[in-house]
Amino acid sequence: MAKDQADISGGDNNHAVAADQLRAFVERIERMNEEKSAIVADIKEIYAEAKGTGFDSKVLRKLISARAKDVSALKEERAIIGLYAAALGMDEGIFG
Amino acid sequence: MAKDQADISGGDNNHAVAADQLRAFVERIERMNEEKSAIVADIKEIYAEAKGTGFDSKVLRKLISARAKDVSALKEERAIIGLYAAALGMDEGIFG
Amino acid sequence: MAKDQADISGGDNNHAVAADQLRAFVERIERMNEEKSAIVADIKEIYAEAKGTGFDSKVLRKLISARAKDVSALKEERAIIGLYAAALGMDEGIFG
Amino acid sequence: MAKDQADISGGDNNHAVAADQLRAFVERIERMNEEKSAIVADIKEIYAEAKGTGFDSKVLRKLISARAKDVSALKEERAIIGLYAAALGMDEGIFG
DNA sequence: CCATCTGCAAATTAAC
DNA sequence: GTTAATTTGCAGATGG
């Protein structure tokens, strides 16, 4: 077995070490997943609060996703310009 | 207009108030969305680190999602797929 | 068991009927999947041909996806306008 | 310019030729993309029909994707997950 | 409350 | 082999 390879195949003395490593990774990921779930719950709450204040949450969602898309659309546009510039042998740097 | 209803339509000065409220909600949600993205990126990093240590990240994901689910529900699902497979004369052993 | 429910649970005489139905659905889907794969392969071929003619396939892909996005962006825009119109109690029909 | 290179940059009359070629490639690809979309829609319809007949479409999807894969690879994967689960002291029964 | 549907995340797949 | 892109699958949200 390569030395940079975790051993979980059992039978020999590296077993425990790999199991501990595995457990550590699993715990870290599960901890982060919990944090993520908490944030998702918070976001849901804010939408509910907005709804209670009279805002249509569907419209609000569209608005926010539209704003997010504007940003990614801008990046996309620059990427396309860069590609065409490269295709034409231009210096892409001039676009910032 | 009901007093608990945000004003986003009228022709009076409540416009500004509703607009401020809306802006506040949008900012709060976008802030939380950024936090969520950061966490998702962190999780991705941990998987990468685990992979670098020799663990199979695909297997790791399946393991973690299995831990998040109810054991009896998992067994139940497998049993149903097994029934379908049997109806087709497939090797039922392959499901897990 | 409800009469509109496929029986794959075994043991009784509806077993064979449901198995035949299941097999038919599986075969239809797998047939369509094959067609889809053939089309995907064809598309790949066209890109290769374009590349052989001197076109940068990466640029070509960007061009085509940008054209596709223009169409969906228009639909999205109309959907948003419709939502706002509805929120304001307007007749959406006037937008076409 | 090499003679097998499409001209999308020069200042001469080959412009028109390259533009026509490009247009032709774009049209062919977009045509195929439409066909692909039609097939995808058809597949979706079949799943809906199967669901209407009482089959669980989620299970059906898993079944079909399993059929598309190599059986020994699937068994191998399950065995590895079992090893990981054992390292964590989980109930391995849910994987096998 | 269920069933449909959109939107997001993950897994596969292709390109380099 | 590794990153990037497409596609599939899932979960959450909305409307009946």
CB contact under 8 A, A15 and D87: yes
Q: How much of chain A, in percent, has pLDDT values that exceed 90?
A: 52
Q: Give the type of residue at B42.
A: D
Within 10 angstroms of residue B65's Cβ, the number of other Cβ atoms is: 11
Whether residue C11 lies within 8 A of chain B, CB to CB, comes out as no
How high is the mean pLDDT of chain B? Answer: 85
Whole-structure pTM value:
0.85
Determine the straight-line distance between the first and last CA of chain C, rounded to whole angstroms.
48
CA distance C44 to chain A (A): 20
pLDDT at B20 over 60: yes
Chain centre distance of CA C16:
32
pLDDT at B84 over 50: yes
Look at residues A60, A57, B8 and name the one whose alpha carbon lies nearest to residue C88: B8
The tens digit of pLDDT for each residue in C10-46 reads: 556 667 778 999 999 999 999 999 999 999 999 999 9
Whether residue D63 lies within 8 A of chain B, CB to CB, comes out as yes
- Determine the protein residue whose CA lies at the shortest distance from the C1' of E7: A65
pLDDT of residue B37: 94
pLDDT of residue B90: 87
By the 8 A CB rule, do A54 and C87 touch? no
The CA-CA-CA angle for residues A47, A50, A51, to 5°, reads 85
Mean of the pLDDT values across residues D1-23? 71
Burial per residue of D16-42, b for 16 or more beta-carbon CB atoms within 10 angstroms, e otherwise: eebeebbeebbebbeebbeebeebeee
Residues making up chain C, counted from first to last: 96
pLDDT of residue D44: 94
Within 10 angstroms of residue B61's Cβ, the number of other Cβ atoms is: 13
The nt closest to D77 (CA vs C1′) is E11
Q: Among B22, B84, B92, which would you mutate to test the C interface (most chain C Cβ atoms within 10 Å of its Cβ)?
A: B84
pLDDT of residue A12: 61
Burial group, residue D6, by CB count within 10 angstroms (0-12, 13-18, 19+): buried
Q: Give the type of residue at A10.
A: G
Q: How much of chain D, in percent, has pLDDT values that exceed 90?
A: 55
Residue with tokens 């779930």: A37
The nt closest to D52 (CA vs C1′) is E3
Chain E bases closer than 7 A to any CB of the protein: 7-12, 14-16
By the 8 A CB rule, do B4 and A54 touch? yes
Mean of the pLDDT values across residues C42-55? 95
- What gap in Å lies between CA C93 and CA B41, rounded to an integer? 43
pLDDT: which is higher, C10 or B40: B40
Q: Is the CB of A59 under 7 A from strand F?
A: no
By the 8 A CB rule, do D72 and B72 touch? no
- Among A22, A87, A89, whose Cβ lies nearest the Cβ of D87? A22
Residue C96 — pLDDT band, cuts 50, 70, 90? Answer: very low
pLDDT: which is higher, B32 or C3: B32
- Determine the protein residue whose CA lies at the shortest distance from the C1' of F4: C58
Look at residues B17, B75, C60, A28 and name the one whose alpha carbon lies nearest to residue D24: C60
Handedness of CA D10, D15, D19, D25 (dihedral sign): negative
Within 10 angstroms of residue D1's Cβ, the number of other Cβ atoms is: 11
